Structure 1
């Protein structure tokens, strides 16, 4: 319980840290864009606003997901976080990428006279420091959660979208800052203000790529993903090792929240087990499973003859 509470607090720190950084950066970027007329800086301002709103939505999703089960949602509201994660991905694509590309095209066709870029460089430097700090916090939390897994494997297996979404948003933000800096420098170096517009389009492309990736991951979570193979193997070993169980036919799991799993088990009991004994065995098995695998929020065990069941081999078999 204490470990779970600490983990939730750390996740909230990541989101609040990203929110504070993005709000401050957005104001600075808009001020710089207004003074210098930079299209890429304006795109970066919208980018930071979208990121700020995204953090608010993820915090809201986490809050809603903590509601206990009720008659309408007997398995709880945990998967509501996945819905808001999908909305975040859509906002990055529709608003972040869309506005950036629009501003870039507009600036190319209607380039503004060049002005002193000094304030742009100052804002970009401050933004890199703030965004980098947020990225470092998000990466540290992500590294703690992923353990020995590789980055890509950890993202694909993660059932908590808030952590990797903030990390990828911050990564896209840092890439956007670099592109904006290059765009501002190139437009002044070559006296071609439309280059700043091309930088804005490039920022939009980066955001679109990140948005498509995040939407893909959020969609999988929203539809329903199974528990990690190690959890399934642990459940299989515990049930199969019970003296009353002849064999385990199959185990099916689905995440109802990042830290909650529903498991359905089909098991063949020995013929000598009576109905009364079976009830006590099922209660004993549930207690053992919940003690060994705390993320199991709901356990359903169905006694079923092996020849009548669709047998699925355990992980690694």
Structure 2
């Protein structure tokens, strides 16, 4: 049997590692990553998060040390989540000038002034009921919560934060925070909006880490339905119009299509949150010996970039940075 006269041979450009590297369309860099940090006001030593191997809540006294480690690996930014000693119905600890995140911001900037310090802006860690704002009955009052988000964002800016990242999915949150920051003289503080945040089962381990599990119900009345694509684009465009400087899609792995569509539809930098459940599944499978952890993690991170992400928030970030740095040697 004869072969055709002309065979198109894409394999020519896969024939060795050097050629593959030269024609690679999408690449990873340590500059792509932001590392999440959980700071717990109630502890004086690290406390392992059982559902997230390798991740711990840390005391305030360790923030500077960890941020220096992050910086030494070349990772440009961290995002802070706080676990306060005292919670109340409205989450007032969120805007306390001596609150745990405010103290952590100051500690992080003192330890590594060049590190970009981002603060998650929400109330689920601060409220006694675990929901993301002020409750009226069992419903989160959107507009009362906006006023508190303004206070929280200004408090973070006063502490020296580089970027505010609202994650509560309240309607109008970007406009309210932008107004609050500008009126307080912080017009140069950017907003990274969790513009498209789905009501996801992948968030489970995070709620252990941040002590933020709702005491009743769920967050489906303010986080997005996983089945909605057009609504995701609507949410993203609303945040663009309200003054967001960056957009985020959360979770990442099950929403690659949304990352791509939002990226193509807008002209803002795009972040993706590689969330706790995604991390935990990889760790569990790796511990069983079922997957090659490094290979799977790097492939996943590359897929986020290919889908359109400019920035990746990931609990894998320290390992990824070490792997990338080793590969350069």
- Give the TM-score category using the shorter length: under 0.3
Please give the TM-score of this superposition, normalised by the length of structure 2.
0.22
Please give the TM-score of this superposition, normalised by the length of structure 1.
0.23
Query: Going by fraction, where is strand more abundant, 1 or 2?
Result: 2
Larger radius of gyration: 1
Query: Going by fraction, where is helix more abundant, 1 or 2?
Result: 1
